[in-house]
Each structure stands twice: as C-alpha cells, then as structure tokens.
A and B are shown apart, each in its own frame.
Chain A
Amino acid sequence: MTDFPTPCFPTPHAIKQQLQACRSKEETFKALVILSKALPRLSDEEKTEDNKIKGCESAVWLITVEDAGRRYFKADSDAKLMRGVLVAVISLVAGENQQTIQKMDLKSELAELNLSSYLTSSRSNGVLAILKTIGQN
C-alpha cells in the first residue's frame, strides 16, 4: 500500500457540517469548490478508459483499492464541482467493507448534504452512476 487510507480528507462529520450550513445553491456551490481541493488528482496513467464512469457529462474516473477487507477510493474529474461531490461521497464510504457499503443508502445521505440537485436523473447527471460503481464492485 502506498497512499491509502485516503489522505487528508475532511471527516464525514466536517463535510456534513459544511454542506448542511449552506443556505442556497450558491453557497453549496462555493462549499463544493472548497471541498474539491481535498481530492488528490489522479495521474494520467490512472485515467484509463476502464476507470472512467459512463453517464457523466464531465469525465469522472474512479479506482477502488482493497486493503485488508476495507475499501478505499481514488477519483478525479475534469469538473471541479464533481471533484467536490466525489470528496463528499468518498468520505462516506472510505475504509468500510463491501457489505457495509452495499447496505448504505448513499442517495439519502447525499440528499441530507443538500446535494439532491446533483442526484436527479437528468441526462447530464453522473452521480448516480458513481454511486452504482462504488456500491457494485
């Protein structure tokens, strides 16, 4: 193992506080921009077609690494807001085992974080595809 567990992520609790304090779409936007900075970028070699998630308007890559039964995730996107959303999602699941992750209701957890507008199944939306990938493999 090299760089796992996920480095310098804010705790789920801190993320929850930040996002739930947002009173408007604009504030959520700004909070996500700040969160996005916590996501280590992937190298070009890691951004393979295999790691790419289909169904996102922006490019999103997700890599799952398993260590002693626990799962960690590395991810990247060319859109900043998506990187912020990825930080929120990964913080919820990082370090858990597969069964726990599968049982989690990530959709409602994200809705609690004021992120439901990213979860509508519009054409441009890939967050659901990301949740599916995280829960599946």
Chain B
Amino acid sequence: MAFNSYSLRNQFPILQQTAYGYPLAYLDNAATTQKPLFVLDAIQDYYRSFNANVHRGAHFLSDRATNRFEQARERVAQFIHAPENSHVIWSKGATEAINMVAYGLEHLLQQDDEILITSLEHHANLVPWQQLAFRTGARLRVLPLTSNGEWESEYQKYFTDRTRIFAATQVSNAIGVSTPLKTMIQEAKKYSAFTLVDGAQAVAHYPVDVEDIDCDFYVFSGHKMYGPTGIGVLYGKSQALEILIPYQTGGEMVRHVAYQATEFNILPYRLEAGTPHIEGAIGLAAACEFLIQQDRPALLAWEQKLANHVYTRLIKEGGIELYSPEKNTTLVSLSVPNIHTIDLNAYLDSKGVAVRAGSHCAHPLMAQLGVSGTLRASFACYNTLEEADQFCDVLLEAIEILGDD
C-alpha cells in the first residue's frame, strides 16, 4: 500500500509523547481528532499576521481578515461540494447547527406533524427534535435501523403525509455503521419533508457531496476532521436556509435597524449573528485543505484496515461482543459480559491507550443493543498497526485481570 501513516504521523506533534511511560495510542478519534501542523500554523498565522474583525471597519488588517475568512467559506463549500459559498453557515459545531434548524423551522410545524429520526442517532440529532416536538405538539417518530445500519422491514410506513422533517446520521458514532442515506432521503422527499443529515462522523473519512446526497441541510463539526474545536458548519440549500428563522439575532446579521423593525441581511450573514469564530473558520479551512491534499481513498482504506484488524483479532478470541461491523467501518465498538467498560477503559488508559467507554451520547441505541455502554476504539489516518495491536493486547490483559471472579 502506497499510503504511509508513519510519515503522516510526523505532522501531528501531539502524538509524539508517552502516557504514564507507555507510547500514547490515541484511539478516541470519533470524539475528536488531533490537529496537523498545517492547521496549527494556519491558526497561529491568523493571530500573528492578520487578526482583525471581519466585515467591519475598512482597514488593511480587516480587509485581509475578511478575505481569508470568506476564502475559508469557499474552501469548505468546495470540500462538501456545495454549489455556492453562501450555502455554508458557520456554527459552533454539529450540535449548534442542528439546533439552528430545529428552531428555524419551528414556525412551520403544527400539532400532529411528524419529525422522523433514526434509531442510530447521537443525542445531538435527537434531543433538539424531541424538544421541538414538545414545543409544537408535533410527534417525534423513530425509524428503526438494525445495528448493521439496514432497514427494518416495512420502513415505508414511518414516512407519512405528516412527516415534515427527516433527520438522520450518515455514520453512527457509537457503532460505526453507515446508514442507507440516499434511499432514506429519497423516501423523505416523496413526502416533501425537510431533510437533515448529521455528517459529524462522516467528514473525516468519506468524501462528502451534498448535491449528490440531495439533502436540505448537512451539518458537521470541525474538530472531528482535524480542525479546531468551536467551529462547525450548517450547509443548506438556499430555499431551505431562507426559510429558517434566525435563532440568534444581533450585530452582523442585519442590514438596517430601527427601533420599530429590523431588516435582516442576506445569506449567509442572516444566520450568523455576532462576531464569528474567525480563527476557527480559518483552521477548519486548513483542515479541509489538509484532507484534500491527501490520497483520501488510501486514508479511508487504511483506517478501515485498522478497524478490521482489531475486529478480526478480537472475534478469534471469543467472549467479546462486537457491535460494529466487520468491514467498512473505521471504529470498533465492543463489550465484555460481566466486565464494566469503564474498568476496561481505565486499564487501557493506564497503559497509554486512549479509547472511550460509555453510552456515546446514544442512550436509546444502547437500550436497543441491550447494553449500558460499549468500549470504542476509533481510528484516524495517523494511527498505526502497532497501535491497533497495542489496543488488542492491553484489552486482553484487562479481561484477564478483571474477569477472575
């Protein structure tokens, strides 16, 4: 394989350290990824050379900052294949972007309308819809997907004439499966529902083409794709964005203000009240650039290979429940009967392996799987086969130590 994770790794300074005397194996990438020098430098460069507020006072630095800020929007638009830059709205992250839509569409919902989500959602793509349903008298319905990410039978009956919003994740953060996204979106469109796709777990791994997915809204967070925290994106088709009531108002998003009334600005500014996260936008654009420069199919193949390697080793051991699929995923999600995942996590941590134990912000999905939580090892392009083996070795040791009564 031409791809070499070792040379890529050198671009991530944080990975060159030990934890409690062991080589640090960072396998919690589905929570957040580490940042390459390219991103770190872009952020530094912003503060060192062109920090100023954007869209405001016309002066040398402000012009530069504004230009780079809008170039960042353009870069992100290209990255997800958005037809226009103004379709990219900055947010704090996926969570805020979903909330922007949930509030923005409230004025269209009526008693007994239906909001449909899937059974694989992160709380971020569940609670805002549930609360919207509470506020409006609409009903939250859940389209059951199997833990392989497949349809349950009779899925069509979940889409009805009352389905106003359909929100689904592209990839499950808890069990790593991809959903049948395009078919679901097509089905939702038959009923003229607004469609939102949670791409938080997709963007770091899969090329995203929002035009091809054909959803009304697509959301993701920068920090899960090698970019900084505190910045994310709400992409929307222009008619969809136009219909949203701004959920925050204030400066920057207005064209004219009088005490009697305010005229809002055009997109994208209409949905971006206040001074934006300029440094975040620039960092996120650098992360897109970083990914664009890579051989992305090779990165994905590598990440999937690591997950598959772990899966194959652990399935051979027996006594381990695996919830992630064998193939086509970049993470491994598991539990061991009679051993708490927190205990496994603590032992892995004590030997330098960073993973995540718990419900992964998906309580209903955990209930569907019949567990209180899982242990998740999630891979990024800089992870190595040695780290995958370190995870397996230490996990098996932990099971040995913890399973003796």
A33 interface residue, CB < 8 Å from B? yes
Selecting from A7-15, A73-81, A89-97, A103-111, the interface stretch reads: A73-81
Give A57 to B360 CA distance when docked, in angstroms.
Answer: 12
**Would B20 and A33 count as touching, CB distance under 8 A?**
no
**Would A33 and B340 count as touching, CB distance under 8 A?**
no
**Would B401 and A25 count as touching, CB distance under 8 A?**
no
| Contact code string B319-354 (vs A, CB < 8 Å = 1, else 0) | 000000000000000000001101100110111000
**Would A58 and B340 count as touching, CB distance under 8 A?**
yes
Other-chain contact of A81, B343, B351, B372, B405 (Cβ < 8 Å)? B343
B402 interface residue, CB < 8 Å from A? yes
Which residues of chain B come closer than 8 Å to A80, judged between CB atoms? 339-340, 343, 402
| Contact code string B353-389 (vs A, CB < 8 Å = 1, else 0) | 0000110000000000000110000000000000000
B318 interface residue, CB < 8 Å from A? no
Q: Chain A nearest CB: distance from B357 CB in Å?
A: 8
Give A79 to B358 CA distance when docked, in angstroms.
Answer: 12
**Would A33 and B350 count as touching, CB distance under 8 A?**
no
**Would A124 and B342 count as touching, CB distance under 8 A?**
yes
Query: Is the interface on chain B under 10, 10 to 19, 20 to 34, or 35 or more residues?
Result: 10 to 19
Which residues of chain B come closer than 8 Å to A47, judged between CB atoms? none
Residues facing B in A61-81 (CB within 8 A) are 78-81
Residues facing B in A20-34 (CB within 8 A) are 24-26, 28-30, 33
Q: Chain B nearest CB: distance from A4 CB in Å?
A: 24
**Would B358 and A25 count as touching, CB distance under 8 A?**
no
| Contact code string A98-122 (vs B, CB < 8 Å = 1, else 0) | 0000000000000000000000000
B21 interface residue, CB < 8 Å from A? yes
- Chain A residue with the shortest CB-CB distance to B401: A33
A132 interface residue, CB < 8 Å from B? no
**Would B340 and A25 count as touching, CB distance under 8 A?**
no
Q: Give the A-B contact count at a CB cut-off of 8 A.
A: 40
Which residues of chain B come closer than 8 Å to A30, judged between CB atoms? 401
| Contact code string A47-61 (vs B, CB < 8 Å = 1, else 0) | 000000000011000
Residues facing A in B239-270 (CB within 8 A) are none
**Would A25 and B342 count as touching, CB distance under 8 A?**
no
Q: Chain A nearest CB: distance from B317 CB in Å?
A: 20
Give A80 to B373 CA distance when docked, in angstroms.
Answer: 15
Which residues of chain B come closer than 8 Å to A28, judged between CB atoms? 350
**Would A25 and B343 count as touching, CB distance under 8 A?**
no
Assuming the A-B contacts A25-B20, A33-B402, A57-B358, are A78 and B340 also in contact, with contact meaning beta carbons closer than 8 angstroms in the complex? yes
**Would A26 and B350 count as touching, CB distance under 8 A?**
yes
Q: Chain B nearest CB: distance from A123 CB in Å?
A: 9
Give A33 to B405 CA distance when docked, in angstroms.
Answer: 11
Assuming the A-B contacts A57-B358, A80-B402, A124-B358, are A29 and B346 also in contact, with contact meaning beta carbons closer than 8 angstroms in the complex? yes
Give A28 to B349 CA distance when docked, in angstroms.
Answer: 12
Chain B residues proximal to chain A, CB less than 8 Å:
20-21, 339-340, 342-343, 346-347, 349-351, 357-358, 372-373, 401-402, 405
Can you offer 16 A-B residue contacts whose CB atoms are under 8 A? A24-B20, A24-B350, A25-B20, A29-B347, A29-B350, A30-B401, A33-B402, A57-B373, A78-B340, A79-B342, A80-B339, A80-B340, A80-B402, A81-B343, A124-B342, A124-B358
Instruction: Give the 9 A-B CB pairs with smallest separation, nearest first.
Output: A25-B350, A79-B340, A26-B350, A79-B342, A29-B350, A80-B343, A25-B20, A58-B342, A81-B343
